[in-house]
Amino acid sequence: MTFPASLTGLFLLLGATSSLAGVDAPSLASKPSAPPKRLDLGGGASFHPAALLDTGLGVSVTTDLRFSQLLSAGLSLEDAGWGPRLMGHGRLYPLSIARSGLFVEGGVGADLGGARYFRRETFPGPSAAQQARGIVTASLGYRAQGPLGWAALKAGWSFPVTDSRYSVQDGALAASERESLQRASAPGPMVSFAVGPSFF
């Protein structure tokens, strides 16, 4: 039995189209997704209950660069009660960041000190000139990635590694003011939350 030339050509065209579709579809389905961006920049709030009992929340800015799915490092600047705190940190994502945002973080840095003024009915009152001191921190946190950026929450403990020294100016401190400085100078818990975009 013979077919007209036009039908034979149509069958050949359909067969070729089906063959191409069968080859190309799996290759398109297996195309890898874009790798996650590596650099986080952001800002947020920090709370050091022992140090900021009198002043409440502080602000923070942070950056974090991932070297792999397991390791990252970065810098942060925040208010910690003993003046601005400049920290360098390293993070370990034990389950890999591709599977979970859970991380363990260690940090080394300094509280930069500065003048601390106390609220009184008469102003100006006495102030304390806080000297810079070394700090180490240990934290546990979680980083979540969304379509518009990232968010991270962490909690941990900070430990002064040098003496927390200060000098009093313009009068004498009241007992409550000395206690406030003692709280700020002691090791204590810390909590921070930050959000921002990712790059590269």
**Distances 139 to 117, 132, 148, 154, 157 between C-alpha atoms, Å:** 30, 22, 26, 6, 6
Q: What integer pLDDT is reported at residue 126 of this predicted model?
A: 80
Give the three-state DSSP class for 163: coil
Q: What integer pLDDT is reported at residue 123 of this predicted model?
A: 63
pTM for the structure as a whole: 0.76
Q: What integer pLDDT is reported at residue 122 of this predicted model?
A: 64
pLDDT tens-digit series, residues 48-67: 776 655 556 789 999 999 99
pLDDT over threshold 50, residue 199: yes
If you ran DSSP here, which 8-state letter would residue 148 be given? T
Q: What integer pLDDT is reported at residue 53 of this predicted model?
A: 54
pLDDT over threshold 80, residue 82: yes
Average pLDDT over residues 57-86: 92
Q: What integer pLDDT is reported at residue 74 of this predicted model?
A: 98
Average model confidence (pLDDT) for the chain? 81
Average pLDDT over residues 14-25: 42
Quick one: pLDDT band at residue 31, thresholds 50, 70, 90?
Answer: very low
pLDDT over threshold 50, residue 78: yes
d(CA 30, CA 181): 60
Which residues face 136 on adjacent strands?
A: 108, 159
Average pLDDT over residues 171-186: 82
| Tokens (6 digits) for 15 | 């067969």
pLDDT over threshold 60, residue 80: yes
Average pLDDT over residues 155-162: 93
Which residues face 162 on adjacent strands?
A: none
Q: What integer pLDDT is reported at residue 124 of this predicted model?
A: 67
Quick one: pLDDT band at residue 33, thresholds 50, 70, 90?
Answer: very low
Quick one: pLDDT band at residue 26, thresholds 50, 70, 90?
Answer: very low
Average pLDDT over residues 96-117: 92
Q: What integer pLDDT is reported at residue 178 of this predicted model?
A: 85
